[in-house]
């Protein structure tokens, strides 16, 4: 993990089949990691970036799924969310 993460200009909505349903925020990029928190479909998160590289922080798990490191700003909660639960940057 990068030593510092900063908010980017990329805000994304949590997407899913039912508004208000939970999407896990995981402690690492994959379903094998714990999910100590969650966000709800319809909420907005900020995809964090690496200031040294100037890119959004993402990793690909062993199954080929891409994950982004995000922050739910109202509670300052950070975690990993799979890209198919994220809209394009707003």
Extents of the domains making up the chain:
6-85
Q: What is the CATH number of domain 6-85?
A: 2.30.30
pLDDT recorded at residue 2: 45
What are the tokens at 15? 């997407």
Q: CB–CB of 80/33 below 8 Å?
A: yes
Q: What is the pLDDT of residues 22-78, one digit of tens each?
A: 999 999 999 999 999 999 999 999 999 988 888 999 999 999 999 999 999 999 999
Region label for 42, one of left (φ > 0), alpha (ψ between -120 and 50) or beta (otherwise): left
Q: CB–CB of 37/53 below 8 Å?
A: no
pTM to 2 decimal places? 0.90
């Amino acid at each position: 993990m990068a030593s510092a993460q900063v908010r980017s200009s990329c805000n994304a909505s949590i997407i899913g089949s039912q508004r208000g349903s939970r999407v896990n925020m995981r402690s690492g990029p994959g379903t094998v990691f714990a999910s100590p928190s969650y966000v709800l479909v319809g909420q907005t998160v900020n995809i964090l970036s690496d200031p040294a590289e100037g890119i959004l922080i993402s990793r690909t798990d062993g199954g080929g799924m891409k994950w982004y490191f995000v922050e739910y700003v109202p509670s300052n909660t950070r975690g990993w969310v799979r890209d198919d639960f994220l809209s394009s940057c707003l």
